Amino acid sequence: MHSDTAIGVQLDDGAVDLVAKTDADPRAVATSSTSAPHLVAQMLDLLDAGPGDRVLEIGTGTGWTAALLAHEVGDANVVSVEVDAAVAARAAANVRSIGLDVQVVTADGTQGWPARAPYDRVHVTVGASDIPYAWVEQTRPGGVVVLPWMPGWKTGNLVKLTVVEDGTASGTVGEPCGFMLLRGQRRAPSLVEGDVRKSRSTVAPREIAEAGQGFDVALAGRMPGVEGGGFDNDDGSYRLAARSEDSRALVVHQPGSATADVEQSGPRDLWNEITTVYHQWTNWGQPGKERFGLSVSRAGTRIWLDEPAHEVETL
Count of other CB atoms within 10 angstroms of residue 224: 19
CA distance 301 to 135: 12
Q: Where are the alpha helices (DSSP H) in the chain?
A: 21-24, 37-47, 64-73, 85-97, 133-137, 205-209, 213-222, 270-283
Q: Nearest CA to 307 among 297, 296, 298, 294?
A: 294
Angle at 120 between CA 116 and CA 121, to 5 degrees: 95
Determine whether 35 is an active site residue.
yes
Angle at 237 between CA 233 and CA 280, to 5 degrees: 105
CA distance 39 to 49: 16
Give the torsion through C-alpha atoms of 32, 136, 160, 273, to 10 deg.
Answer: 80
The β-bridge relationship of strands 248-253 and 260-265 is antiparallel
Which of 32, 33, 35, 247 is labelled catalytic? 35
Q: Is 35 exposed, middle or buried (CB count within 10 Å of its CB: 0-12, 13-18, 19+)?
A: buried
Q: Confirm if 78 and 105 have CB atoms less than 8 A apart.
A: no
Q: In angstroms, how far is CA 149 from the centroid of its own chain?
A: 3
CA distances from 70 to 42, 76, 82, 84, 126 (A): 17, 8, 16, 21, 19
CA distances from 250 to 200, 238, 241, 269 (A): 11, 11, 5, 11
CA distance 259 to 173: 34
Q: Nearest CA to 124 among 62, 45, 52, 65?
A: 65
* Residues forming the active site: 35
